[in-house]
Amino acid sequence: MEPVSAINGRAIPFGRKNVDTDVIIPAEWLKTISREGLGQGAFEAVRAEPGNVFDDPEFAGAPILIAGDNFGCGSSREHAAWALLDLGIKAVVAPSFSDIFASNAFKNGILTVTLPQENIDRLMEVAQTDPLQIDLDSQMVTTQFQDRFHFEIDPFRKQCLAEGLDEVGLTLARDNAISAYETRAATQMPWLSKGTEIAA
């Protein structure tokens, strides 16, 4: 994963609430065995609406998406995160995110910035004409005006993003601890250690 530091640029003022992952990427697009090219199917139904923000040349190549409450609810498909990446989105700013989407975004180096609705309203306004700046280190969203909005982020996620850490690699380094757990569990809950081998 590439390290994340600052994300500066135009933001797509989408603003809609309860955007589900079927809206972000419909099931028809999940037949791929690759992570690439999903931007074509991203927000398919929204893009069928005349005057939608995604096809507005004003926001072409914008690295930030602004959305409403509960962004990414529904399915666990990581294709939603891959589709955003393919569109060039590096950060999503919203009042809240679904748990699974937030996790998927994080694993792909997409920053999910949670801010109160009033801040979102202000950013939606600024985004119409001007860029936003998001800084991970200081945990701040700023505009060229007076806006300075601080956001919270889990310290572990922040470190992984800032350093571009490979989580699987990190955990594999804890092999001894996992093995110790497995030995303990095999004694205490032997039936759980048997899985698909029980009938063999």
Partner 1 sequence: MASKPRTLYDKIWDAHVVETRDDGTSLVFIDRHLVHEVTSPQAFEALRLAGRKVRRPDLTLAVPDHNLPTTARLDANGKRIPIADPQSAAQLAALEANAPAFGIRYIDASAAEQGIVHVVGPEQGFSLPGATIVCGDSHTAAHGGVGALAFGIGTSEVEHVLATQTLLLKRSKTMEVVVEGLLGPGVTAKDLILHIIGVVGTAGGTGHVIEYRGRVFEEMSVEGRLTVCNMSIEAGARAGLIAPDDTTFAYLKGRPLSPTGNDWDAAVNWWRSLATDPGAQFDKSVTIDASAVQPTVTWGTSPEDVVPVGGVVPDPASFADPSKQAAAQKSIEYMGLTPGQAMCDVSVQNIFIGSCTNSRIEDLRAAADVLRGRHKADNVKWAIVVPGSGLVKMQAEEEGLDKIFTDAGFEWREPGCSACLGMNPDKVPPGERCASTSNRNFVGRQGPGARTHLMSPAMAAAAAVTGRIADVRELT
The distance of closest approach from Cβ of residue 137 to partner 1 in the complex, given in angstroms and rounded to an integer, is 17
Among 8, 9, 18, 142, binds partner 1 (CB under 8 A): 18
Among residues 22 and 147, whose Cβ is nearest to partner 1? 22
Among residues 117 and 144, whose Cβ is nearest to partner 1? 117
CA angle centred on 111, ends 149 and 104, rounded to 5°: 140
User: Please, are residues 23 and 72 in contact by the beta-carbon 8 Å criterion?
Assistant: no
Burial 105-122 (b: 16+ CB within 10 A, else e): bbebbbbbbbbeeebbeb
Q: Does 122 bind partner 1 (CB under 8 A)?
A: no
Among 9, 55, 88, 100, binds partner 1 (CB under 8 A): 100
Q: Does 187 bind partner 1 (CB under 8 A)?
A: no
Q: Does 85 bind partner 1 (CB under 8 A)?
A: no
φ and ψ of 127, to 5 deg: -60, -25
Scan for tokens 């999903």, then name that residue.
38
Name beta bridge partners: 9. 132
Q: Does 190 bind partner 1 (CB under 8 A)?
A: yes
The distance of closest approach from Cβ of residue 8 to partner 1 in the complex, given in angstroms and rounded to an integer, is 26
Torsional sign, CA 85, 99, 111, 129? positive
User: Please, are residues 67 and 20 in contact by the beta-carbon 8 Å criterion?
Assistant: no
User: Please, are residues 106 and 161 in contact by the beta-carbon 8 Å criterion?
Assistant: yes
Q: Does 162 bind partner 1 (CB under 8 A)?
A: no
Tokens of 108: 């792909």
Q: List binders of partner 1 among 57-76 (CB under 8 A).
A: 68-70, 73-76
Among 8, 39, 44, 55, binds partner 1 (CB under 8 A): 44
Helices first, then strands: H and E counts in the chain:
8, 8
Q: List residues binding partner 1 (CB under 8 A).
A: 17-18, 20, 22-23, 26-28, 30-35, 44-45, 68-70, 73-78, 81, 96, 98-100, 103-104, 107-108, 154-156, 167-168, 171-172, 174, 177-178, 180-182, 185, 189-192, 194-199
